[in-house]
Amino acid sequence: MPADRTALAAFLRTRRDRLTPAQAGIDPLPGRRRVLGLRKEEVAHLAGLSTDHYSRIEQGRQQHLSSDIVLSLSRALRLDEIETTHLFDLAVSPAKSRDSGWEAPQRADPGLLRLLTTLDHVPALLLGRRGDVLARNGLLCTVLGTELDPGSSFMRWLFQAPEARERILNWSDFAAAAVGGLRYETGRRPYDRKLKTLVGKLRTEDPDVARWWNDHGVTDQTSVTKRIEHPHFGILVFGIEAVNTPHDPDQRLIVYTVEPDSATAALLPLLQSWAAQARSDPSLSTPRPE
């Protein structure tokens, strides 16, 4: 079975398993139920397909799916906008993506890079494909406690660096969403070998990643809250906003926004000043004793 059809089959099964007849707005079919969610027959009925036709799709034996069928399946399974986009990515032939240049190194978008340089008062970074760091400002490094040099992987830092779990108080929520984002990327770029290698390594080395990956959840979050505990300045609360441009959707400017007049907003200028002093006197970066 082609890899994209394997992913399509698994995605449909997990979405079917999570939806009960009551949630789908139908009466359950009579007889003993062997599944937690919808039966294949129920999904087929909701989508206006024969049971045999739907079974072929879920088993990965249906090579061509029309847009109308994909939309019918989306409605039947109550998929949200991101999940529907992911379903389309999995259902259509990705052959045209083979020569799209995704293996070549990215260069930071000049417009997003200029925007980043104006945001020295809040943490910000520019991410490319696979969560690769294209650029970041000094305040981000101070808040996260890591340099995250251009060319490094934000995903590897998030899942493999001890300070990531220590500093991000809601790490599980943030990390689970990141895994959903990686799955969304694999649907868009099934021939990206570097992305497959990254995902495979993270799944092998981190049981949390493996568990979240097997859930087949997909996300493309542009707004999320992140709570960070800084060793000197305590808890900082940020609203993470993502900005990209239509001409290069594979680059995303990540901005750590703060509520006006909040405790975090008041601390950021002090944090920036402290970071400048710490660069000249490394002893200041040592966490203060309890």
pLDDT tens profile 181-200: 999 999 988 888 999 999 99
Say yes or no to pLDDT of 266 above 90.
yes
Say yes or no to pLDDT of 93 above 80.
no
- Report pTM: 0.84
- Write the pLDDT tens digit of every residue in 6-41: 889 999 999 999 999 999 999 888 877 878 899 999
pLDDT at 289: 35
pLDDT at 188: 87
Q: What is the DSSP string of the chain?
A: --HHHHHHHHHHHHHHHT--HHHHTSPPPSS---SSS--HHHHHHHHT--HHHHHHHHTT------HHHHHHHHHHTT--HHHHHHHHHHHS--GGGTTS-TTSPP---HHHHHHHHT-TTS-EEEE-GGGBEEEE-HHHHHHHTS---TTSBHHHHHHH-HHHHHHBTTHHHHHHHHHHHHHHHHHH-TT-HHHHHHHHHHHHH-HHHHHHHHTT-----SEEEEEEEETTTEEEEEEEEEEEETTEEEEEEEEEE--TT-HHHHHHHHHHHHHHHHHH-GGGGSPPP-
pLDDT at 1: 39
- Write the pLDDT tens digit of every residue in 97-131: 444 555 677 899 999 999 999 998 999 999 999 99
